[in-house]
Amino acid sequence: MRYLQCLFVAFCVLLLTHASQAYATSSQSQKRPHIVLFMSDDHTWHDAGPYGAKDVRTPNLVRLARAGMRFDAAFAASPTCTPSRSAIYTGLFPFRNGAHANHSLVRDELRTLPHRMKELGYRVVLAGKTHTGPRPIFPFENLKNSNVMPPGKNHVLWTDLNTAAVDQLLNEHDRKQPLCLVVCSHSPHVYWPENDGYDPQQIQLPPYLLDTPEMRAARSRYYTDVTWMDHQVGEVREALKKHGYEKETLFLYTADHGAQFPFAKWNLYEAGIRAPLLASWPGKVKPGSTTKALVSLVDLLPTFIKAASGDNTSDLDGRSFLPVLLGKSKQHRDEVFASHTGDGQMNRSPMRSIRTERYKLIVNLAPETPYKTHVSEGATEDGRSYWNSWVRLAEKDERAAEVIRRFRYRSAEELYDLKNDPWEQHDLAGKRAYAKVLAELREKLKAWRLQQGEDLSKVPLPEDARKGEIPYAK
């Protein structure tokens, strides 16, 4: 009898322990937010209402900014699709994850976003564009039917995001399991649709673009695609609300890098690497707040991990900016870094950069190589439609000729004072007054490249860039 009593007591203790662990696990799971990252393709940060644009319609991004926090100093790790997305999904800069050039692959042994979030109990789903190579290293659950051919658009090479598939996922998913959902729009990547409702004469051109009728026409089409992407953001947020996720979700909007215009995509200027970043989290993130904290998009993954109550981020280049999101800190990084290696045979001008709150240094590894991209060398839809008008204008206009020269020929080092020159129009690298600033940034950038283990023998660069392990202008 005593044996049976002891056995019964042991059983009860075991049952209570299991119940307690189950409750703790359930309680912890409930505290973990659903995480939704909406990423657009080739969207320059200043072409959105929350960042001051008055001539482009982005009502859903405006509403998102009002509901949460706007980051004014967020930066992509690379101004090219695959390297930027690979950095986001690995939390590592291109040197360490292996994806330097566009369409290159990360190292096989890496643990990426899907691995890490699944370990925390999340269902990890990707809807829309992937652009990161083979799937085994990125074991997302790829949402079926989330890619469709765009009706009425001339995207002969690209499919479009099907937000109806996202709506269906949210309807069917068991909300007791936290969801990590990455939604990737194909807009506003070229090829852009026909202009819908924009007056080219009312378009406000940023100072780094030349004003021609063809340029205004192209910007109008680009704006049309930006507005379409904004519409998709609204559809996803509405689906979250409809299916009861809104109050339990950390929602972020960003872009992989800037738009396909001169001095933007494939460049380390602000228009190329500065990214829009908006975040809402009801009850956690203060509505209508802004921050000037320097963050890199490699910081997204560790931020997700920390928001999910995880702590295994020490092996990442990224750092969680959760304290900034929660209003507990106004600072994050002292500087951010970015790199560009190349994209096919037309784009072979590798460069590296460091950006502080005030200054930016860009090092061009092969300044002897004339700068070329799809814009100046590709198809009409890639940019030749307006680039040719720039070339014609340069034949009779000295300012236009200088812009063309600046596009094609880069010095070994470029230094910009972003406080006084936010559009990066005045290179200060040769100014004696800035020699100390230049030297300090040069050493920090060199130290970062060494810390990252940059090995140019493993990076597809022009021969001009192979002048030593860390080629550097003296």
* CATH number of the domain within which 360 lies: 3.30.1120.10
Separation in Å, CA 244 to CA 71, 172, 182, 280: 26, 12, 18, 15
Q: Global pTM? A: 0.90
Residue 379: the pLDDT is 85
Total Cβ atoms within 10 A of residue 27: 9
Gyration radius from the chain CA atoms: 24
Q: What are the residue ranges in the chain where pLDDT is below 50? A: 1, 3-4, 6-30, 156, 464-474
Residue 24: the pLDDT is 38
Closest CA to 170 of 239, 123, 121, 233: 239
Is residue 320 located within the same domain as residue 361?
no
Its domain, for residue 304, covers 33-325
Separation in Å, CA 98 to CA 82, 137, 300, 376, 397: 11, 12, 19, 28, 43
Separation in Å, CA 358 to CA 27, 145, 174, 292, 416: 44, 45, 47, 11, 8
In CATH, what number is assigned to the domain containing residue 89?
Answer: 3.40.720.10
Which amino acid is residue 45, in one-letter code? W
Decide which of 301, 325, 349 is a domain's last residue: 325
Residue 329: the pLDDT is 97
Query: Which tokens in the block code for residue 366?
Result: 């092969």
Residue 207: the pLDDT is 96
Residues in the chain, how many?
Answer: 474
211 part of a folded domain: yes
Decide which of 290, 325, 360 is a domain's last residue: 325
Q: What is the DSSP letter of 347?
A: B
Total Cβ atoms within 10 A of residue 235: 17
Residue 462: the pLDDT is 53
Is residue 302 located within the same domain as residue 403?
no
273 part of a folded domain: yes
DSSP 97-127: HS--STT----TT---HHHHHHHTT-EEEEE
Distance (Å, whole) CA 250 – CA 271: 27
Is residue 373 located within the same domain as residue 412?
yes
Residue 103: the pLDDT is 77
Cβ-contact 239, 251 below 8 angstroms: no
Number of domains present in the structure of the chain? 2
Characterise 363 by phi-psi region: left (phi > 0), alpha (psi -120 to 50), beta (else). beta
